[in-house]
């Protein structure tokens, strides 16, 4: 018996409206989709929980996060901001501390290449994005920023899971 057939027996389906999550149809008779972060069969509950506990103990799984629909919260603009800083700026322990604390900055990375810092930002509209950029640019070590608007997300960070991905051949 397939996992989806077992799920339908254990959890009878209600009539629902079909929606799309990414490119996956959910509801209204669409097949039940199961995504696992473990290598065990998901109906083997004890084995699955034991594997998750081992991954937590080994600090491979450190936290659990919600998959937030930013658009539903009114954040229509998704931007990558490339930040160029003054020479030696990365040695400053307080570098961009205020930027890292901004609620609209989803993530902040030191990087190599043309830019020194990469910020992923969510904004409600163009005016809000302009406010965020002005705040970033007001930091004393920031020389300039270059922004790239994200039009379509094809794969998000939460979708990367080397635990269950097929192993790649080493070259």
DSSP string across the chain: --HHHHHHHHSPPPP---EEETTEEESTTPPP----SSSS-TT-HHHHHHHHHHHHHTTSS--------TGGGT--EEEEEEEEE-TTGGG-TTTTHHHHH-TTEEEEEE--SS-SEEEEEEESSHHHHHHHHHHHHTSTTEEEEEEEE----SS-GGG--TTTSPPPPP-
pTM metric for this prediction: 0.61
| Residues of the chain scoring pLDDT < 50 | 168-171
pLDDT at 2: 58
Domain count along the chain: 2
Same domain for 38 and 76, yes or no, is no
Domain span at residue 76 reads 72-149
Same domain for 37 and 78, yes or no, is no
- Residue 47 domain-assigned (yes or no): yes
pLDDT at 171: 41
Same domain for 82 and 142, yes or no, is yes
pLDDT at 103: 92
pLDDT at 136: 94
C-alpha span between 6 and 164 (Å, rounded):
21
CB-side neighbour CA atoms (13 Å) of 109: 12
Same domain for 84 and 132, yes or no, is yes
- Residue 64 domain-assigned (yes or no): no
Same domain for 9 and 76, yes or no, is no
pLDDT at 9: 63
pLDDT at 169: 45
pLDDT at 154: 84
């Amino acid at each position: 018996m397939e996992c989806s057939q077992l799920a339908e027996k254990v959890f009878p389906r209600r009539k629902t409206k079909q929606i799309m999550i990414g490119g996956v149809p959910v509801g209204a008779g669409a097949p039940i989709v199961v995504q696992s972060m473990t290598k065990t069969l998901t109906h083997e509950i004890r084995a699955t929980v034991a594997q998750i506990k081992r991954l937590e103990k080994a600090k491979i799984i450190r936290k659990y996060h919600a998959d937030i629909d930013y658009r539903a919260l009114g954040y229509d603009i998704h931007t990558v901001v490339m930040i160029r800083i003054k020479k030696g700026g990365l040695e400053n322990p307080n570098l961009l501390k205020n930027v890292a604390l901004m609620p609209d900055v989803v993530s902040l990375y030191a990087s190599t290449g043309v830019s020194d810092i990469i910020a992923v930002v969510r904004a409600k509209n163009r005016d809000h994005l302009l406010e965020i950029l002005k705040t970033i640019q007001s930091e004393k070590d920031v020389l300039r920023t270059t922004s790239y608007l994200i039009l379509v997300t094809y794969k998000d960070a939460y979708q990367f899971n080397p635990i269950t991905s097929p192993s790649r051949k080493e070259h």
